[in-house]
Amino acid sequence: MLNSFLSQIIDNINCGIVVLNPNFEIVFWNKWMEINSKMMAEQVLNKSIFEIFPHLKTEKFIKQCKSTLLFGNFTYLSQKLHQYIFPFKPIGTSNEQIENMQQTCAIFPIRDQDNKVTHICITVYDVTDLVIYQMRLIELSRTDMLTGINNRGYLEERLMEEWERHKRHKRPLSIIMFDIDDFKKINDTYGHLAGDLVLKTVAKVSQMKLREIDIIGRYGGEEFCCILPDTHFRDAYKVAERIRLAIQNETIVYKSHSMNVTISGGVADITDSMKDYDELFRCADNALYVAKKSGKNRIEILTKGGH
């Protein structure tokens, strides 16, 4: 009775269950695993898990299993770090961003009567839906709602990361700060909705002039910022010029009004004497100020060494 109870539970629970012996041979494989791996228990039983899933033969996975065998502790393999342990394709409609089923796994010991650990059990939970939801939330928290590009918080987070990377690997790093010339006039003349359209257009046009690895965001108001990893200030200047020209040549149509806007920008790159990433921001901001003072619709460079 109990046996039939248990086997029905084990076969119908929404979770994969695999049991391995100390030689990493599979001794149990529940129905969930059969369905998702498309391999029947008979096909995998008594075979090494590394024979069926060669990618698992990593130092790390073996460490985790050994630790459970030796200490009898529980090991958790988080989706965030591993994404998945078993490469399963989602059954049914899938999200195109996610190729494989996302999994959270746990490894726990199975003991004999003398409390000696004789096997390890791996449980597999499908967390794909949760991950999609999480990704959407992360994306939302990083996005500027009006323009659809990154927001200031994310810009700062990324700049901090790039700053750290620069410190470790001594790779160049430049940033561009730019803002829309006489933006207040557009708002005053055509209304805020026109202003919004200008902001959206500037964001879209600038983004098209950037590389995949560059990061653009709205810094605030009508001010934008681009982070250009692995880029010297001279190349950053060329990028800024490309953006400036593209925006100058873009005609924005709002209700029957045609508008042309221009931007002014400042470029700065990282130098060894800078104490923090704020200094890089300030440097680019100062260059932007010079550009405004010298007549707008232009790009200025200012590095700490002074160029």
Is 80 a binding residue for other proteins by CB under 8 A? The answer is: yes
229, 235, 240, 242 alpha-carbon torsion, rounded to 10°: -120
Task: Produce one character per residue of 58-86: b if its CB has 16 or more CB atoms within 10 Å, e if not.
Answer: eeebeebbebbbeeeeebebebeebbbbb
Task: Produce one character per residue of 21-36: b if its CB has 16 or more CB atoms within 10 Å, e if not.
Answer: beebbbebbbbbbbeb
Is 67 a binding residue for other proteins by CB under 8 A? The answer is: yes
Close Cβ partners of 5 (under 8 Å, ≥ 6 residues apart)? none
Please list every residue from 249 through 278 that binds other proteins, using CB under 8 A. Answer: none
Which of 15, 17, 50, 83 touches other proteins by CB under 8 A?
A: 83
Please list every residue from 90 through 109 that binds other proteins, using CB under 8 A. Answer: 106, 108
Using the minimum distance from each CB to other proteins, give the nearer residue, 75 or 201: 75
Is 182 a binding residue for other proteins by CB under 8 A? The answer is: no
Cβ-defined contacts of 133-138 (< 8 Å, 24+): 135/97
Is 50 a binding residue for other proteins by CB under 8 A? The answer is: no
Could you tell me if 175 and 292 are in contact, meaning their C-beta atoms sit under 8 angstroms apart?
Answer: no
Q: For residues 75 and 71, what is the distance between their CA atoms, to the nearest angstrom?
A: 11
Which of 6, 9, 70, 253 touches other proteins by CB under 8 A?
A: 70
Interacting span for other proteins (CB under 8 A) from 55-63, 145-153, 175-183, 240-248: 55-63
Is 193 a binding residue for other proteins by CB under 8 A? The answer is: no
Q: Could you count the other beta carbons within 10 Å of the beta carbon of residue 229?
A: 18
Active site residue 222: yes
20, 23, 24, 26 alpha-carbon torsion, rounded to 10°: -50
Q: Could you count the other beta carbons within 10 Å of the beta carbon of residue 177?
A: 26
Which of 66, 89, 192, 204 touches other proteins by CB under 8 A?
A: 66
Interacting span for other proteins (CB under 8 A) from 52-60, 214-222, 228-236, 281-289: 52-60
Which of 41, 138, 213, 245 touches other proteins by CB under 8 A?
A: 138
| CB 77 to other proteins: min, Å | 8
Over its C-alpha atoms, the chain yields an Rg (Å, rounded) of 28
Per the residue annotation, which of 139, 156, 222, 223 is the catalytic one?
222
Catalytic residues: 222
Q: Where along the sequence are the contacts to other proteins (CB under 8 A)?
A: 58-60, 63-64, 66-68, 70-78, 80-81, 83, 106, 108, 111, 115, 131, 135, 138-139, 157, 161, 168
